[in-house]
Structure 1
C-alpha cells in the first residue's frame, strides 16, 4: 500500500517531524513493503515555522524579544526557501508554554514580543509575512504587537496605556501616525487554526481565555475589554473586526492585524498543506495517517487532522487520526473523511510518562492501525 503520514506536533513531546518518523517506524513494523510518504504538518500553531522552513528549504533566525510578561528571551522566526517570505509564530514569543503556569494571566500578558519579531523581519528587509497565531498565552487583541510596531494607545490624558488586556480599560484613542512606515509596504497573511470571532459566545475570551489562566470573572472582564478594543479599532478601520472569522485567533491578535495591518486570513492547515504539496502526495494513496496531541470538538474547525482528512476525502481515501488524548464531540470529523480516531495511550500512565513515551506509543498505535486496515482490505 501507499500510506501518507501527515501529523501535526504533539505538544510537549514530539515535533511534527518526530511524530511522522514514529508513525513511519510503526508502519514498517506492520510491513516493509508499504510505500510511505511523511509530510510533517501544522495549522498555524506551534511548529508551523519549522514545518514551513523544512518543507521549503528555508532558514531559521534567532533574536531577543520580550515574552508575554516582559522578560527578555531568545525567540526564532523563519524565512521560506523563496528567500522573501518571513514566517513568524505568535507562540515563539508569547506562547502559553513560554512562561510558567503561575505566571499565566491573560489580563496582563502582552503580544509586544510578537511585534518585536515582526520588527526583526522588517529590519532584515522582508516585506512578505506569514503570521501564525496559534498557541498564545495572550488575550490583548494584538494591542501589544501594535505598540511594538509604533502604534500609540493613549488614555484620556494622552499617555500610553499599560500593556496587556487590562490596559485597554483606559484606552481613549489609537494614534497610528508613528507606526513603522515599512508596514505599509508589506503583504501580510494570517495563518490561523481557528475561525472564532473576537467577541461573543465563541469569541477569543470565552473560548480560549480559561485555557490561559483566566477564571470566570476574568473571562467576563476580558469580554468587556475586547468589545472596547473592537469599538476603537472599528472607528479607524473599515474592517468590522468584532465578528470577523479568525479575528479571535491568538487571543484576538487576528483583530489587530486585520484592522490596522491589512492582513488576510487563511486557514493555517490549508496554507501549510499547499506549501508542503500535501495533495500531490495524497493522490493515489491507500491510507492517510494524521494526528496531534489532543483531538476534541475544536479539531473539525481548521485543525491539522481536519485539513488533512478533507484533502484525502476528495480522493476517497480513508484517514485515521491518532491523538494523544481524545475529547468529546468529535463526531463532525467522521463527516470529513476520518474513519477512526485512536488514542496512542495503550495503558494507564501519568502525563509525565505519556510525554516521555509518546514516540513509542505512537509507533505502536500506527502499527496497529495499519495492520487492522490491511486485514480489513484483504478480507
Structure 2
C-alpha cells in the first residue's frame, strides 16, 4: 500500500513536517510494510518556510529584527543557496502570534520587521524572494516594510512619520529616493490565497481589521487612513492597485507590495504543490492523508486539506483528513473529495491540553484509523468467504 501524507501545520501545536512524521509513525505501528511518502504542506501562512525548505533542501536562518511593536524578536526565514531563494513569512516578524491579545495595537503595529528580513535576504545575495502573507498583526498597508527598505513618509509639515496603521491618515507625501536598489532586480513572489481588495466592504480594514484589534467604532478611521495612503502611493508611483485582487491581504501589505514591487501573486497552496510535485505523487498513491488544526468553513477557501483532496479526487484517489477540531458538515467535505475527517482528540480535554499534546494525539489517531482500515479489510474478506 502506498500512502501519501500531506498535512498542513496544526497551528499552535506542531509543524506540518512533525504532523507528517506522527501520522507515518502511527500507521507504521499497524503495518510496517506500508510505503509512505511525506510532503509537508502550507497555504502561505504558518509553516510555509519549513514546507518549502523541506522540498528544496533549504535551511532555516534566524535574525534579530523588530516585532510589530518595535521590540526585538528572533525571526526565521528560509534560504535555498543553490537557487539564491529566500522564503519569508509575514507572521515571523509581524504576526499575531508575537502579541498577546491585550497587546494588539493596530495604531502602532508595523511590518517593519518583515522589511528587515527582506534586507537580510538581499545581503545574502537573494535573487528571488517568496513572501507568505498570512497571519499579520498589522493594518499598515505594508508601510513599515517599505520604510525598512528605504521609503520615507512625511506629514503635511514635512515631519518624517513612523509607518504604522495609525499614521496612514497623516501621510501627505512620500520619498523613495533611498529605496534599496537591489530590489529592482529581485523576483518577488507573493504566496497568498486572499483575494480581498484594499478598500471597501470586503477590504483589508473591514474584513481583517477586527482580528488585529480594530474596534467597530474605529473602522472608519482606519479605512480613511488606508484610502489616504493609497491615493498618495498612486500619485507617487503612477500605479493604482487599491482595488486589485490581493491588495487587501495581510492588512493591506499586498497593496504595498503590488505598488512598489509588482510581484507575482500565487496561491500559497498551489506554489508549494508545484514545488513539491504533489499532483504527480498523488497519482502514484493508493491513499492520501492530510490534516489541519481546525476544520471549519474557512477550510473550503484555499486551506490545505480541501485543496489536497481536490487533487486526489481528480485522480480518483481517496483522501482522509485529521483535525484537532471539526466545525463543518462532513457531507460538504465529501463533495470536495474528502472521504473522512477524523478527529485526533480521543477524550474530553481542555484546548490547552489538546494543543500541548497534539503530536501524541495525532499519532494515536493515525494508529486507530489504520487499525480500523485493517479490521475493515479483514471483515470484508470474511463476509466474501
The TM-score range, normalised by the shorter chain, is over 0.9
CA contact (8 A) 1:52 1:80 kept: no
DSSP 3-state at the match of 2:136: coil
Between the aligned partners of 2:333 and 2:242, the Cα distance in structure 1 is 28
- In structure 2, distance between residues paired with 1:206 and 1:348: 36
Q: Secondary structure at the match of 1:271?
A: helix
- Aligned partner of 2:66 in structure 1 is 66
Matched with 2:297 is 297
Moved more, 75-84 or 7-16: 75-84
Q: Secondary structure at the match of 1:298?
A: helix
Distance 1:331 1:267, change over 3 A: farther
Structure 1 stretch displaced more, 260-269 or 329-338: 329-338
Contact kept in structure 1, 2:153 and 2:163, CA below 8 Å: no
Matches within 5 A, 1:1-379: 1-80=1-80, 82-237=82-237, 239-328=239-328, 333-372=333-372, 379=380
- Mean CA deviation greater in 109-118 or 26-35: 26-35
* Structure 1, gaps ≥5 residues long: none
Aligned counterparts of 2:224 and 2:115: Cα–Cα separation in 1:
24
Q: CA offsets, 1:17-63, max 9 Å, x none?
A: 11111111222234323221111111111121122112211122222
**Partners of 2:136 and 2:272 in 1: how far apart?**
19
The CA distance in 1 between the partners of 2:142 and 2:217, in whole Å, is 21
Deviation at 1:212, TM superposition (A): 2.5
CA separation in 1, counterparts of 2:174 and 2:57? Answer: 40
1:359 to partner: Cα distance: 1.3
**Measured at CA, do residues 79 and 223 of structure 1 come closer, stay the same or move farther in structure 2, by a change above 3 Å?**
same
Specify the alignment match of 2:383 in structure 1. Answer: none
Q: Output the CA distance in 2 between the equivalents of 1:60 and 1:195.
A: 29
When the two structures are superposed, what TM-score results if normalisation uses the length of structure 1? 0.92
Tell me, in whole angstroms, the C-alpha distance in 1 between the residues paired with 2:312 and 2:179: 44
Deviation for aligned residue 1:277: 2.0
> In structure 2, how many angstroms separate the alpha carbons of the residues matched to 1:343 and 1:225?
44
Give the greater-gyration-radius structure (CA).
2
- For the 8 Å contact 2:62–2:75, the answer to whether it is kept is yes
The alpha carbon displacement at 1:243 in A equals 2.9
- Report the count of equivalent residues: 379
Cα displacement (A) at 1:81: 5.1
8 Å contact kept, 2:139–2:204: yes
